[in-house]
Amino acid sequence: MEPVDALNEIAFWLERELAPTFKVQAFRKAAATIAALAPEELAARARDGRLKRMKGIGDRTYQVIQEALDGGVPEYLAGLRSRGSQPLAEGGRELLGSLRGDLHSHSDWSDGGSPIEIMVDAARLLGREYLALTDHSPNLKIANGLSAERLTEQFAVVDGINDGGPDGFRLLRGIEVDILEDGTLDQTEEMLSALDVVVASVHSKLRSDRRTMTRRMLAGITDPHTNVLGHCTGRLLQGSRGTRPESEFDAKEVFAACAEHNVAVEINSRPERQDPPDRLIQLALDAGCLFSIDSDAHAPGQLDFLQYGAERAAANGVPAERIISTWPLDRLLAWTKSGD
């Protein structure tokens, strides 16, 4: 197999396993290092030892490259493929098979770890029909949120990918837009109208009192551009960022507004979030809400986290027809633009 493909696939499986970032980046950087080399040049450098001396190439990545050049599947990759053949989640397999796309993902344009093109390659590998690229909005400076100017530049990249797609896959123009403290969305009216998918989330002042948070969320939900309410409680159960309790808000009022204004409640598939909690999924079901099972992937391998979301949705009895990410693309886009 091609050495670049082997290195990137190893990184994919490591991301899926939540391996340490430094380990994943070693393979991503090695892939980027050799990607610019012609096949003959790469083979020559491997033969005479120059490859091993290149910056970004370590002992393990050199071994992978050499084994790929020799015509086989690298041993390290074979082991990861074997482990990856086991599902991440046991439940929700039928529902997982119904999911056509993923409406929440990040690239290295904001706080993701990989270029857009590599995220798209992984989505295709996983059989997705569409993926929304939802990098952060300007207010989230810590996550390198996109100004209107940078978002416009990103549109050109998205359009270029869609122009060259032979398999019908579609990358959607999207954003994870902050719901600001006054309830407004953190992007211009013009840019929000140009998007295919708007995921609106609260990222600041998560410990606000119940009344303040409810008012803020309701304002974001009633904005006609909002399609999906992202990770509604903001909780963290585990992971490198530690733990964080749920935000306090009037869930019945919030979910009633989602149902009234045609805003889907996200079932966030990240294992450290598991947001909303089961009791709130039940409240949203009772309120008549739609749902979106999303990966919130910040790396290609994390796109497979949809397994966790499908398991939770199935366990809570969420019907497939009420999950917008099971819908065909034409139906989805007609729905997302219906509020504009």
Q: Looking at the structure, do residues 101 and 77 belong to the same domain, yes or no?
A: no
Which residues form the domain of 34? 3-84
In which band, very low, low, confident or very high, does the pLDDT at 167 lie, cut at 50, 70 and 90? confident
Residue 302 has pLDDT above 80, yes or no: yes
Q: Looking at the structure, do residues 76 and 125 belong to the same domain, yes or no?
A: no
Alpha carbon 132 to its chain centroid, in Å, reads: 8
Number of domains the chain contains: 2
Q: Looking at the structure, do residues 143 and 20 belong to the same domain, yes or no?
A: no
Q: Largest Cα–Cα distance in the chain?
A: 68
Question: Cα-Cα-Cα-Cα dihedral of 229, 263, 302, 94, to 10°?
Answer: 140
Residue 320 has pLDDT above 80, yes or no: yes
Q: Looking at the structure, do residues 191 and 268 belong to the same domain, yes or no?
A: yes
For 45-104, the pLDDT digits (tens) are 999 999 999 999 999 999 999 999 999 999 999 999 999 999 999 999 999 999 999 999
For 218-268, the pLDDT digits (tens) are 999 999 999 999 999 999 998 777 899 999 999 999 999 999 999 999 999
Residue 339 has pLDDT above 80, yes or no: no
CATH number of the domain at 271, please: 3.20.20.140
Q: Looking at the structure, do residues 202 and 65 belong to the same domain, yes or no?
A: no
Which residue's structure tokens are 């600041």? 204
Q: Looking at the structure, do residues 273 and 294 belong to the same domain, yes or no?
A: yes
Q: Looking at the structure, do residues 154 and 281 belong to the same domain, yes or no?
A: yes
pTM greater than 0.75: yes
Strands (E), 179-232: 197-201, 228-229
Show which of 35, 53, 84 is a domain's final residue.
84
Q: Looking at the structure, do residues 312 and 241 belong to the same domain, yes or no?
A: yes
**Nearest-5° Cα angle at 129, 124 to 131:** 80
**Nearest-5° Cα angle at 97, 91 to 100:** 130
Pairwise CA distance, residues 304 & 123, whole Å: 9
Show which of 67, 84, 101 is a domain's final residue.
84
Q: Looking at the structure, do residues 69 and 143 belong to the same domain, yes or no?
A: no
Show which of 84, 115, 132 is a domain's final residue.
84
Instruction: Say which residues have a Cβ less than 8 Å from residue 151's Cβ, sequence separation at least 6.
Output: 135, 175, 187, 191
Which residue's structure tokens are 């749920």? 246
Pairwise CA distance, residues 15 & 26, whole Å: 12
Q: Looking at the structure, do residues 325 and 194 belong to the same domain, yes or no?
A: yes
For 125-148, the pLDDT digits (tens) are 999 999 999 999 999 999 999 999
Q: Looking at the structure, do residues 64 and 113 belong to the same domain, yes or no?
A: no
Q: Looking at the structure, do residues 207 and 151 belong to the same domain, yes or no?
A: yes
